[in-house]
């Protein structure tokens, strides 16, 4: 059986990952999402407690979980950590016109943040037509139980929280950055003490960009899109970026000052250049696209190796 596109397929790629010097892999959401969506993103979760069955070549009952465990074990044997991208800010049920699978049918007002002026309408900081009501203790328990499940049952090493600042909205609509209950419970849970906690510190609608602030606490890491944007622009050749580039390379001390008052250390910054939001690394430097910030170095498209040395302005290969 061809394991491409399955958990077992990751095992087959381990020698290649080792050759690249990879020490950790972050999987895009693998918690079960609606197969009818017909995509491979997985950002509209249906079940927070099971691996996506369609990513498993083992279709027997319990097969997807067994195959996922085998993948994690194989990566660990190769010295590679496994981090899960998790989406606890919304679900696949969408807005008023979305399907009813579970949470909406069980107790809509408990599981979802609703507009206090119109209880038929969903708050939508996630940009996906609904926000989970993580200010409610029942929803917080759901999230904590799910995190514990993945740690206990699969032995993964950490979590990257999609749109993490959405979790900090209170019932009155305010953004609680001082001590959001869900963040506090995750941070102080003894069963999660030894896993990596990584926040994407913004919301899809731009309402909660909190990179570098005290949220979500000094034990968390944060995706640093300032680093991404500066490095991309510098490579592209944009001007007046040397000072900003040095700030990014020296730990973004403007965002993560290493002092007691801010309690934010430079090691909290996850410096990245490329991710799932936009073109892959090859396309990033092969195609010009202002929307994604990609730049083609003057040559649109991937240049075949045979033609590379003959392209004007490009030094010959050695």
pLDDT in the model for residue 191: 96
pLDDT in the model for residue 289: 82
Instruction: Please classify residue 224 by burial: count the beta carbons closer than 10 Å to its beta carbon, then call 0-12 exposed, 13-18 middle and 19+ buried.
Output: buried
Q: H-type helices in the chain, by residue range?
A: 7-12, 14-20, 63-77, 103-111, 137-154, 181-188, 225-236, 242-249, 281-284, 305-308
**218-229 confidence digits (pLDDT tens):** 899 999 999 999
Contact (Cβ atoms closer than 8 angstroms) between residue 78 and residue 17: yes
pLDDT in the model for residue 313: 46
Q: Which residue has the tokens 């009952």?
A: 61
Q: H-type helices in 78-195, by residue range?
A: 103-111, 137-154, 181-188
pLDDT in the model for residue 307: 55
Tell me which of 26, 131, 162, 274 is the catalytic residue: 162
Two structure tokens written together for 274: 């490329």
Those residues with Cβ within 8 angstroms of residue 151's Cβ, 6 or more apart along the chain or in another chain? 191, 192, 195
Low pLDDT (below 70) residues in the chain: 1-2, 263, 304-318
Two structure tokens written together for 220: 């968390």
Q: Which residue has the tokens 């606490």?
A: 217
User: Is 307 one of the catalytic residues?
Assistant: no
Backbone angles phi, psi at 286, to 5 degrees: -115, -20
**C-alpha span between 104 and 120 (Å, rounded):** 12
Nearest to 227 by CA among 203, 250, 259: 250
User: Is 225 one of the catalytic residues?
Assistant: no
pLDDT in the model for residue 311: 47
**14-55 confidence digits (pLDDT tens):** 999 999 999 999 999 999 999 888 888 999 999 999 999 999
pLDDT in the model for residue 225: 95
pLDDT in the model for residue 312: 46
Q: In 3-state terms, what secondary structure has residue 178?
A: coil
The answer, yes or no, to whether the previous bond of 216 is cis (omega within 30 of 0) is yes
**Measured on CA atoms in the order 294, 231, 225, 148, is the torsion positive or negative?**
positive
pLDDT in the model for residue 215: 85
Tell me which of 200, 254, 307, 310 is the catalytic residue: 200
**What are the chain's domains?**
7-217 (3.20.20.80), 281-318 (no CATH)
């Amino acid at each position: 059986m061809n394991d491409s596109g399955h958990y077992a397929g990751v095992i087959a790629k381990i020698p290649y990952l080792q050759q690249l010097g990879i020490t950790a892999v972050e999987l895009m959401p693998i918690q079960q999402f609606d197969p009818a969506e017909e995509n491979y993103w997985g950002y509209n979760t249906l079940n927070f407690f099971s691996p996506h069955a369609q990513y498993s070549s083992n279709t027997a009952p319990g097969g997807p979980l067994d195959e996922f465990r085998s993948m994690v074990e194989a990566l660990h044997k190769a010295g590679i950590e496994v981090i899960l991208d998790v989406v606890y800010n919304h679900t696949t049920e969408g807005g008023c016109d979305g399907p009813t699978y579970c949470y909406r049918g069980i107790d809509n007002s408990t599981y979802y943040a609703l507009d206090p002026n119109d209880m038929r309408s969903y708050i939508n900081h996630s940009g996906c037509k609904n926000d989970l009501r993580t200010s409610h203790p029942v929803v917080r328990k759901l999230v904590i139980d799910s995190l514990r499940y993945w740690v206990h049952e699969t032995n993964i090493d950490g979590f990257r929280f999609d749109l993490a600042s959405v979790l900090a909205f209170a019932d009155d609509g305010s953004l609680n950055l001082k001590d959001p209950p869900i963040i506090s419970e995750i941070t102080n849970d003894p069963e999660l003490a030894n896993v990596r906690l990584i926040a994407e510190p913004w919301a899809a609608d731009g309402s909660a960009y909190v990179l570098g602030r005290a949220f979500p606490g000094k034990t968390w890491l944060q995706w640093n899109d300032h680093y991404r944007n500066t490095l991309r622009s510098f490579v592209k050749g944009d001007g007046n970026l040397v000072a900003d580039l040095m700030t990014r390379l020296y730990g973004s001390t403007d965002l993560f000052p290493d002092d007691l008052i801010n309690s934010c250390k430079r090691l909290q910054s996850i410096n990245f250049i490329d991710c799932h939001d936009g073109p892959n690394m090859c396309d990033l430097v092969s195609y010009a696209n202002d929307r994604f910030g990609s730049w083609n170095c003057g040559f649109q498209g991937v240049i075949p190796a045979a033609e590379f040395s003959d392209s004007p302005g490009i030094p010959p290969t050695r």
